[in-house]
Amino acid sequence: MHGARAMAAALALALAGADVDACADAALAELPESTEIGRNARHALRLARSGDGTFAIVPLLEHQIVDHVYSYGIAAAETVPVALALATAARGRIAEAVPAAACLSRVADSAPALAGALTGALGGGAEIPAAWRDACRTLSGCALPRLTGTDLVELAELLGATELTTPGG
Residues that constitute the known binding site: 109-110
Which of 27-60 are b and which e, b meaning 16 or more Cβ less than 10 Å from the residue's Cβ? bbebbeeeebbbbbbebbbebbeeeeebeebbeb
Give the contacts of 20 (CB within 8 A, at least 6 positions apart).
Answer: 14, 87, 88, 91, 92, 118, 119, 122
> Reduced to 3 states, what is the DSSP secondary structure of residue 151?
strand
Distances (CA, A) of 87 to 36, 67, 96, 101: 20, 20, 8, 9
Q: Residue 128: which of 96, 159, 106 has the closest Cα?
A: 96
Output the known binding site for Mg(2+). 109-110
Query: How large is the greatest C-alpha to C-alpha distance in the chain, in angstroms?
Result: 54
